A = this chain, B = another copy of it.
Amino acid sequence: MNDLPERLRGSGKRLTAQRELILRAVDALGHATPDEIFTEVRKHVSSVNVSTIYRNLEVLEELGLVRHAHLSDRAPTYHSVVGHEHFHLVCRSCRVVISVDPEVMAPVIARLGEDFGFEPDIGHLTVFGHCVDCEAPKDTAQK
């Protein structure tokens, strides 16, 4: 599950305690913002800096170990790529986040390829909308 050392070596980058801890935090937290990851990592080492979090989330994403998605109009969230690839549904009323198998998008992927020569990045996709039987009041606004 943790390919970190090999992947880093392969690209001339170094293995550091921070990188290991950040990857572990992303794994542990599920969908977490840089700030939440920062807080989590700081539980294990006293002095980490936010800038290190940002720099390394970028590195880990380049290495294909984590991905990010925009689940709100605020900060992005990062999640580990250990499991299966998936895209997200977000309800604007109750804020629930549903992970969906890319297979559901198959017909659309085909159409976009044929009609536009476009290859969608499904793992980055977030679909906003509403649960049909959501208890929360329907929220027309975007925020």
Mark A residues whose CB is within 8 Å of B: 58, 61-62, 68, 70, 73, 76, 89, 91-92, 98, 100, 104-105, 107-108, 111-113, 115-121, 124-125, 127-133, 140-142
Contact = CB atoms under 8 A, between A and B. Distances in A.
Please tell me how many copies of the chain the complex holds: 2
A116 B61 CA distance: 29
A132 B124 CA distance: 18
Contact of A121 (B61, B129, B131, B133): B129
Nearest to A129: B120
B117 A132 contact: yes
Given A62-B140, A113-B132, A118 B98 contact: yes
A61 to B, nearest CB: 6
B128 A116 contact: no
Contact of A120 (B58, B62, B89, B107): B89
A117 B92 contact: no
A113 to B, nearest CB: 7
Given A89-B116, A104-B112, A116-B89, A62 B121 contact: no
A131 B115 CA distance: 11
Given A58-B141, A62-B141, 6 more contacts: A89-B112, A104-B108, A104-B115, A118-B132, A119-B129, A125-B127
